[in-house]
Amino acid sequence: MRTTPFSLRNVALLALLLILSACTPIYQGPSAPVILMPSPPATDPNTYPSPQPQPGPYPGAEDKPAPTVIEPIASRPQVAPSAVDSLLDSAWNAYRETRYDNAVAFAERAQRIDSRRPEVYLILGNCYLAKEQPTQARQMALKGIAFSSSGSATRHKLDSLLAKTNP
Amino acid sequence: MAQKKAPKGRKTPAKKRSTGKRSRNKTQHRSWLRRAFRFSFRYLLLPILIVTAITLFILDGVVRAKFSGTKWTLPTHVYSRTLDIYAGLEINRENIIWELEQLGYRRVSTPSRPGQYAASSRSIELHTRPFVFLDGDKSSQRARINFSGDEISALSDARGKALPLLRLEPIKIGGIYPERAEDRILVRLEDLPPYLADAIVAVEDRNFYQHHGISLKAISRAMWVNLRKGGFAQGGSTITQQLVKNFYLTQERTLIRKAREAVMAILLELHYSKAEILEAYINEIYLGQSGKRSINGFGIASEYYFRQPLNELDVHQVSLLVALAKGASYYNPRKNPKRATARRNVVLKLLNDQDIIDEVATKQAAAKGLDVTETPGLTTNKYPDYLDLVKRQLREDYDDDDLAQEGLRIFTYFDPQAQREVESSLSNRLARIETQRTLEKNTLEAASLVVRVGSGEVLALAGGRERRFAGFNRALDARRMIGSTIKPAVYLAALEHPEQFTLGSLIEDGPISVTARKDELWTPRNFDRTSHGPVTLYTALGNSYNQATARLGLEVGVPEVADVVRRLGYEGYMAEVPALLLGGIAMTPYEVAGIYHTIAAEGFYTPLRAINAVYSADNEPLTRYPFKVEQRFSPTSMHLLHYALQVVMREGTGRSAYAQLPDSLVLGGKTGTSNDQRDSWFSGFSGNYLTVVWMGRDDNGPTPITGGSGALQAWSEIMSGLDNQSIPFARPEGVTYAWHDPATGLGSEKHCNGSRYVPFATGSEPVEYASCQRNFESDVVDWVRRWLKLN
């Protein structure tokens, strides 16, 4: 059977694992000093409400799972790129034709599909700048920057938009 | 004037006498007539003429004033969001069909007209309706949607060419009505379906284009018929008279009213064209009753009976509506379908008699069913809680009269699919909890809202467990203690000081007491009544340790935590006391959603909003409610907080969510339970949806549920029905990941026993390292995994 070598290998590896785990030293705890937060100062809280026990986790929380690896993602996949691109194209066209409200409406539709596309905020920022709302334009630029990778063309444009809206 | 009398006893010749007498008689007669005429003119005719002239003048004024100006008070109609359809969208075939049915699309074998669709097991072919959208008009479009499981795999036009997007028009979700609750959708003559105008004229007033307001012929015919039948069998009112009766007068049956109706009909015809009168009739005529609301005009009647726009109706449907003009209640097709069918067929026969439709079409139409929807197409405000929010936000810009009379069109962000999930999940979970905990039925209440992350659009809102009930809106008005829901603010306040606190810092979860008011001690305890010793910040938040959080909050400072809560979006009053650190503050679910939205949106505050735009009755944009944003927290501190909130979901009090949600989905959230378990909260988010759920009792009594065993369960069910994306947990600039040892809070290495990869604000990562017990087990497992994958 095709699976036999594989199963044998698994059995062998399992045996090896068991042996190794038996040899692993038991963790003895920290040897370095523990950094503790200082105790709270005994302030004079004149307006404290009456003391009440505060509930914490739900019953049975003692049954804790092993820690999960929570890691950042290297790059975020774009959501529905063709739909978003089509809306962004329409938004840029409307922007160029100075139909700013329409451009905003298109960009907001794109935002609904993919709220982390930095181009969305580039368009919105430019529209608000054209509509003489520099504060909103600046905030849009900041939001776009938060979602863009440094060195990208969009980031460069967002940086320049931010510079134009400097208070 | 005095007459000169003849002298008495004076004799005159007979002829002369006779002639004189006649002449005198004649003169007397004439003068009497003159006198009578003068008297009549002065005391009868003249006043009558004057009164008539004044009456005519007044009636003319009435006729013109009402007809020339705004003819009707129009209710405001509220619409849902539009649905953008694209390849990759997570939505199944059934939900698209549900959406189409809400819009009144008709299922056919081959869609040939706007408002039709055909469905097979893996695709839907549809012909969309034209609609004036916020970003421009959109003509109707034929398209095909292909599905693969619960996702749209392809979208193409009629020729099979790939389409990037397809948009469905919004669903009408309710209205804001005037006191005299009339509902109406105005239609113009050019927008009518074929046959409607002809059918109205043929049935109601075949001489409409010949008479001048009243038809003596029709009146004589009606009188003759009524005399023969010995009672009222036929009316002789023209369309103009019917319009006058409905538009200007009361429904009383008196001769004076009838006379006034006739005069006003003539006046109306003097001033306005036949087309204008017919159009007004089509928009005015009473065609049904929906609860308190009267259904006026063919436009709204079409929605009410068929859930279709008027211009999509076929001749058998048009004939039914025309039939209803004779008596909407008597011929009500939902209550009296046989009677309605008979009357409809009479209308069809009349159309055939007058050569408007041919014999074949008549027979085909008469053979069809009534096609009336089972439930009215316009149920009064199916989503009262959401509409409540819409009204509150509208009142900032519009007064009540405008809202109830100007025919505004309100476009909202309401997502009927998300609302369905919220309503069914709350009702399911509450019932299940009550059964499991042997509580009396309906002991618990709940409220929830779903918000789109990033844009702050409120997609769904439930103010209680009872659907369609416009009662106390708990989502907006129930201020309840939020318990541990507030804890992320405490940790965020700490993490904004990386020189003092990092996620890996240890904090003592041990007994703590501070002197409270009147020398009372404030002694928070953990839910499990156990102290856990030194724990990392993420462990303390993940497991919602009260003692550690209180200690951390006091270290950071209560005012600083309060400031963070305000920056997150809370605008109400806060008592800056230690109890605040553990949620000793009452908030509404809406306010909690506002706070958590700022967290979910990575530190960018956006006011929650339900309304996209307001349009006038003429489709002119009046007010837009654009997306606004303000950065209030750094990406660094938000990234760290997101990490800790993911710990809550993966390892802490929120972990049971993954019983209902896929492991691959990255989520963040926090439980909240107030004292004596009076309130159960869960607030959490994916990459695109934030949902807040509250459960508790209306009398604020204790419950057997915590945030984890109550609200979280409903939250998970709601989220499992939404097309979630994972939190895009990308490392921002200013964040460095490093291995650390949770037991000591010191630095560590990947291969060390118990080490953990944790984000730090760059520069705050540990510089001292804990002693390392090499984890051979993990090394070997890693090695084996790699080896197995390679082979």
Model pLDDT for residues B249-276, shown as the tens digit of each residue = 876 767 777 888 889 999 989 999 999 9
Q: What is the pLDDT of residues B169-210, one digit of tens each?
A: 999 998 887 666 667 788 888 888 888 999 999 988 888 999
How confident is the prediction for chain B on average, in pLDDT?
89
Q: Reply yes or no on whether the pLDDT at A60 is more than 50.
A: no
Band the pLDDT of A46: cuts 50, 70, 90.
very low
The kind and range of the H/E element at B448 are: strand B445-452
Lowest mean pLDDT across A73-77, B3-7, B540-544, B756-760: B3-7
According to DSSP H, which parts of B532-574 are helical?
Answer: 537-542, 546-556, 558-567
Least CB–CB distance from A140: residue in B508, B629, B753: B629
d(CA A149, CA A139): 17
Band the pLDDT of A36: cuts 50, 70, 90.
very low
Give me the pLDDT at residue B183, please. 73
Sort strands B293-296 and B182-183 into parallel, antiparallel or unpaired: parallel
Residue A113 near chain B (CB below 8 Å): yes
Q: What is the pLDDT of residues B743-773, one digit of tens each?
A: 999 999 988 988 999 999 999 999 999 888 8
Q: Reply yes or no on whether the pLDDT at A21 is more than 80.
A: no
Q: Do residue B653 and residue A58 have CB atoms under 8 angstroms apart?
A: yes
d(CA B666, CA B652): 14
Chain B, residues 176-235, CB within 8 A of chain A, namely none
Q: Do residue B527 and residue A55 have CB atoms under 8 angstroms apart?
A: yes
According to DSSP H, which parts of B145-229 are helical?
Answer: 196-204, 216-229
% of chain B with per-residue pLDDT over 90: 64
Give me the pLDDT at residue A45, please. 32
Q: Do residue A58 and residue B527 have CB atoms under 8 angstroms apart?
A: yes
Chain B residues in contact with A34 (beta carbon < 8 A): 506, 534, 744-745
B152/B30: higher pLDDT = B152
d(CA B395, CA B404): 12
Q: Other CB atoms closer than 10 Å to residue B774's CB: what's the count? A: 13
Q: Do residue A112 and residue B770 have CB atoms under 8 angstroms apart?
A: no
d(CA A108, CA A102): 10
Give me the pLDDT at residue B50, please. 87
Q: What is the mean pLDDT of residues B453-468?
A: 92
Give the best-scoring range by mean pLDDT among B37-46, B62-71, B658-667. Answer: B658-667
Q: What are the percentages of helix, strand and coil residues in chain A, rounded to 5?
A: 55, 0, 45
Q: Do residue A40 and residue B554 have CB atoms under 8 angstroms apart?
A: yes
Band the pLDDT of B590: cuts 50, 70, 90.
very high
Residue A145 near chain B (CB below 8 Å): no
Band the pLDDT of B291: cuts 50, 70, 90.
confident
d(CA B409, CA B132): 11
Residue B675 near chain A (CB below 8 Å): yes
Q: Do residue B508 and residue A32 have CB atoms under 8 angstroms apart?
A: no
Give me the pLDDT at residue A94, please. 96
Q: Reply yes or no on whether the pLDDT at A52 is more than 80.
A: no
Band the pLDDT of B234: cuts 50, 70, 90.
low
Chain B, residues 309-328, CB within 8 A of chain A, namely none
Give me the pLDDT at residue B16, please. 52
Residue A89 near chain B (CB below 8 Å): no
Q: Reply yes or no on whether the pLDDT at B509 is more than 60.
A: yes
Q: Reply yes or no on whether the pLDDT at A35 is more than 50.
A: no
Which structure tokens are listed for A32?
């370095």
Chain A residues in contact with B729 (beta carbon < 8 A): 70-73
Residue A22 near chain B (CB below 8 Å): no
Q: Do residue B522 and residue A48 have CB atoms under 8 angstroms apart?
A: yes
Which structure tokens are listed for B237?
């009112």
Q: What is the mean pLDDT of residues B362-391?
A: 86
Lowest mean pLDDT across A141-155, B221-235, B420-434, B682-696: B221-235
Give the residue numbers of B annotated as catalytic, written as ranges.
204, 484
Lowest mean pLDDT across A73-87, B239-253, B614-628, B702-716: B239-253
Question: In sequence order, what E strands does B139-195 have?
Answer: 142-148, 151-157, 166-168, 172-176, 182-183
State the number of CA atoms in the 13 A half-sphere of B384 facing the CB: 14
Q: What is the pLDDT of residues B436-446, one digit of tens each?
A: 999 999 999 99
Give me the pLDDT at residue B194, please. 83
Sort strands B142-148 and B123-127 into parallel, antiparallel or unpaired: antiparallel
Q: What is the mean pLDDT of residues B337-353?
A: 94
Least CB–CB distance from A58: residue in B643, B708, B733: B708
Give me the pLDDT at residue B2, please. 39
CA A67 to chain CA centroid, nearest Å: 20
Lowest mean pLDDT across B48-57, B190-199, B705-714, B780-789: B780-789
* B593 φ, ψ (degrees, to nearest 5): -60, -35
Lowest mean pLDDT across B41-55, B178-192, B298-312, B666-680: B178-192
Q: Do residue A80 and residue B89 have CB atoms under 8 angstroms apart?
A: yes
Given the cut 0.90, state whether the ipTM is greater than it. Answer: no
CA neighbor of B470 nearest in space, from B387, B530, B384? B384
Chain B, residues 462-521, CB within 8 A of chain A, namely 483-484, 505-508, 512, 514-517, 520-521
Chain B residues in contact with A85 (beta carbon < 8 A): 164
Three-state DSSP class for residue B666: coil
